[in-house]
A and B are shown apart, each in its own frame.
Chain A
């Protein structure tokens, strides 16, 4: 077990990348703490799997270094990195029994038979496959096979990290929850560094202590689930985390006020003059409906009752805006305004959050 450091790492699948778009991973420097439970979150094609494969050594990065502790492993093949990885689709050795499948990584490391047997029994118990240990893996269902893949990933105790590449895609929802709980439990017991790739925010937020959000080949924010919710550093984080995601409205920022669609709303902080595309971001949880002339003009399009709250979908000057209204609050029929909670609104310039205090000092 060790700390994993990425130094100025970047990757392109093309031999001679020229433009920004040619890079699947844009240069990044970051550290994965030893024993951390990380989720790597992002939409499909944002570079999550690329990053994972670089860490495990299946891909050699176009530039930059990877360090395990103090050791530079950039040029080291997967075989020598001692890392576990579970893939999106099940990989089992068809001709082996379930038991031999689970024992395979241990046998390859040359562990004594009694240790292997004990460890395999432990893992089989955990994934709930003790009864089928002697069955041939070929005939099992897809989710049973995926459980074997997970088991094989976790069977070695001395690995530097365990990487999960959307491992629960083929598992049915109930089992998903159970396996995720077991992964967390395993993390608590053995303290392996775990990196869990997913595009499902629930999965990410429930599994990880630290969520790393990727967008377009970049890590746009790494932080606790709470931080990602409260202070999204990038509009993508705001949009991707939360259900529905953060509302974004084009705005002109003038000091402590924002002008949106002819209306002016106060901000909690002051901002200097901003150039580029400026937007106000506010989560649906921090908007309230109103009537009269306070706040922003709003027209309701649709109301969705999702049980513990309602989502009011509407528009402010042509942009979609969602508002979350608790079950016990009425929605007035003549609603024509939304009122933002100024302390929860963020200012974005070209999709990145602007730090209010810094620009206040600048002004």
Chain B
């Protein structure tokens, strides 16, 4: 059967095109525009070429922030992915407790970012916070305001508290979709618990794990609100991640040109690393 071809059908795409252009393409292009120009105010712009890009790339401050950001995402993924899998494996499969666990797991995901930040900001305070107070009474020298390591630990634990649920719920969904027959067959084949995980559960979770890794990577790489609320990027620059630095630059100092160049590089880095994850994980699936 021949499909009727009518090129006027393209007009049907116009509304979407207009919306996307208005909401995404034009703002992005504005950023591109800023990134190659300089201004001294009065809406007067000068061509700056790649100057801002060179400045951003060679900035020690931004490089340090990038280093912290990569370290942060690496720690987050290294903790949340295995922990999420572990939690999902141990959640009840059915019954009242399954629903109970699901609700419990979903709770942190429902709390707005800045509220999570505020909760931990107060929770960790040595003078009035339950955690900080308890730790200091136990003789642990904990103070996220002054100590860089403590600040890091607080931010990491907070993120794990906030987002491990997401990984766990995704993995749980993946596990639920495995038919009973697989587990039965594994029993019949006398497979050990580890082999059941390695050859049945892990392969069946591959799809959701890919989503979990990508989401958690992108989110943690772009993290802003919670560390901003808890530590404000301090002490010093210890928890100043890329987005905090970027906001300081763009809105604090109104350095639109460098901030735009920074944004574009930031965006490309996220895109590149996500692509690498995607490629590795889908390829891994082929050979796993």
Contact = CB atoms under 8 A, between A and B. Distances in A.
B191 A108 contact: yes
Given A95-B203, A108-B195, A79 B187 contact: yes
Contacts of B189: 104-105, 108, 152
Contact of A84 (B188, B192, B195, B200): B188
B43 interface: no
A87 B200 contact: no
A93 B199 contact: yes
Interface residues of B, number: 18
Contacts of A149: 185
Nearest to A110: B190
Contacts of A79: 187, 190
Q: State the majority secondary structure of interface residues on B.
A: helix
Interface string B201-234: 0011000000000000000000000000000000
A96 B190 contact: no
B58 interface: no
Contacts of A77: 187
A93 B188 contact: no
A91 B185 contact: yes
Given A89-B181, A91-B181, A95-B288, A83 B188 contact: yes
B288 A85 contact: no
Given A94-B203, A95-B199, A109 B190 contact: yes
Contact of B184 (A85, A105, A152): A85
Range of interface residues on A (Cβ < 8 Å) = 20 to 34
A58 interface: yes
A71 B209 CA distance: 45
Given A89-B181, A96-B199, A105 B190 contact: yes
A235 interface: no
A12 interface: no
Contact of A85 (B188, B192, B203): B188
A243 interface: no
Interface in B218-270: none
A136 to B, nearest CB: 8
A56 interface: yes
B191 A104 contact: yes
Nearest to B188: A85
A82 B188 CA distance: 8
Contacts of B188: 56, 58, 78, 83-85, 105, 153
Which interface residue of B184, B187, B190, B204 has the most chain A CB atoms within 10 A?
Answer: B190
A91 B182 contact: yes
Given A108-B192, A109-B190, A87 B288 contact: no
Contacts of B191: 104, 108
Nearest to B190: A108
Interface string B151-193: 0000000000000000000000000000101101101111110
Contacts of B181: 87-89, 91
Nearest to A93: B199
Interface string A80-124: 001111011101011110000000110011000000000000000
A93 B190 contact: no
A87 B185 contact: yes
Contacts of B204: 94
Interface string A52-63: 010011100000
B53 to A, nearest CB: 43
Nearest to A104: B189
Which interface residue of B189, B195, B200 has the most chain A CB atoms within 10 A?
Answer: B189
B188 to A, nearest CB: 5
Contacts of B199: 93, 95-96, 104
Contacts of A57: 187
A176 to B, nearest CB: 20
Contacts of B184: 53, 58, 78, 85, 87, 91
A149 B182 CA distance: 11
29 contacts: A57-B187, A58-B184, A58-B188, A78-B184, A78-B187, A83-B188, A84-B188, A85-B184, A85-B188, A87-B181, A87-B185, A88-B181, A89-B181, A91-B179, A91-B182, A91-B184, A93-B200, A94-B204, A95-B288, A96-B199, A104-B189, A104-B191, A105-B188, A105-B189, A108-B190, A108-B192, A108-B195, A152-B185, A152-B189
Across the A-B interface, the 8 shortest Cβ-Cβ residue pairs? A91-B185, A78-B187, A105-B189, A108-B190, A95-B288, A93-B199, A95-B203, A85-B188
